[in-house]
Amino acid sequence: MKACEMVGVSRRTIYNWIAANKVEYLRTAGGSIRIFVDTLWREPDGTKHPTNHTAA
Protein backbone atom coordinates (compact mmCIF):
# COMPACT_ATOMS: atom_id res chain seq x y z
CA MET A 1 0.00 0.00 0.00
CA LYS A 2 1.26 3.47 -0.78
CA ALA A 3 2.07 5.79 2.09
CA CYS A 4 -0.22 8.51 0.75
CA GLU A 5 -3.15 6.08 0.74
CA MET A 6 -2.44 5.03 4.31
CA VAL A 7 -2.71 8.54 5.70
CA GLY A 8 -5.14 10.04 3.19
CA VAL A 9 -2.89 12.69 1.66
CA SER A 10 -1.58 13.34 -1.84
CA ARG A 11 1.65 11.93 -3.17
CA ARG A 12 2.99 15.49 -3.37
CA THR A 13 2.35 15.91 0.37
CA ILE A 14 4.45 12.83 1.08
CA TYR A 15 7.30 14.28 -1.01
CA ASN A 16 6.96 17.57 0.88
CA TRP A 17 7.17 15.70 4.19
CA ILE A 18 10.31 13.93 2.94
CA ALA A 19 11.88 17.25 1.94
CA ALA A 20 11.01 18.71 5.36
CA ASN A 21 12.40 15.62 7.19
CA LYS A 22 8.98 14.91 8.71
CA VAL A 23 9.16 11.21 7.82
CA GLU A 24 12.05 8.77 7.86
CA TYR A 25 12.85 7.08 4.58
CA LEU A 26 15.58 5.46 2.58
CA ARG A 27 16.31 5.54 -1.10
CA THR A 28 17.03 2.22 -2.78
CA ALA A 29 19.87 1.67 -5.23
CA GLY A 30 17.31 1.93 -8.03
CA GLY A 31 16.12 5.33 -6.79
CA SER A 32 12.83 4.25 -5.20
CA ILE A 33 11.84 5.70 -1.85
CA ARG A 34 10.86 3.47 1.07
CA ILE A 35 9.14 5.20 3.97
CA PHE A 36 9.28 3.87 7.51
CA VAL A 37 5.58 3.42 8.28
CA ASP A 38 5.88 4.28 11.98
CA THR A 39 6.97 7.81 11.06
CA LEU A 40 3.68 8.43 9.25
CA TRP A 41 1.80 8.25 12.54
CA ARG A 42 3.92 10.70 14.52
CA GLU A 43 2.64 13.99 15.80
CA PRO A 44 4.81 17.05 15.08
CA ASP A 45 6.27 16.79 18.60
CA GLY A 46 7.51 13.25 17.85
CA THR A 47 4.85 11.28 19.74
CA LYS A 48 2.88 8.59 17.94
CA HIS A 49 -0.81 8.59 17.04
CA PRO A 50 -2.74 5.89 18.91
CA THR A 51 -3.41 3.53 15.98
CA ASN A 52 -3.02 -0.11 15.12
CA HIS A 53 -1.28 0.47 11.77
CA THR A 54 1.95 -1.49 11.59
CA ALA A 55 3.00 -2.07 7.98
CA ALA A 56 2.64 -0.64 4.50
Sorted by where each begins, the domain ranges of the chain are: 1-56
Q: d(Cα 32, Cα 53) in Å, to the nearest integer?
A: 22
Q: Is the pTM of this model over 0.95?
A: no
Residue 53, pLDDT > 60, answer no
* Phi and psi based region of residue 50 (left: phi greater than 0; alpha: psi -120 to 50; beta: remaining): beta
- pLDDT at position 25 is 94
- Band (pLDDT 50/70/90 cuts) for residue 44 is low
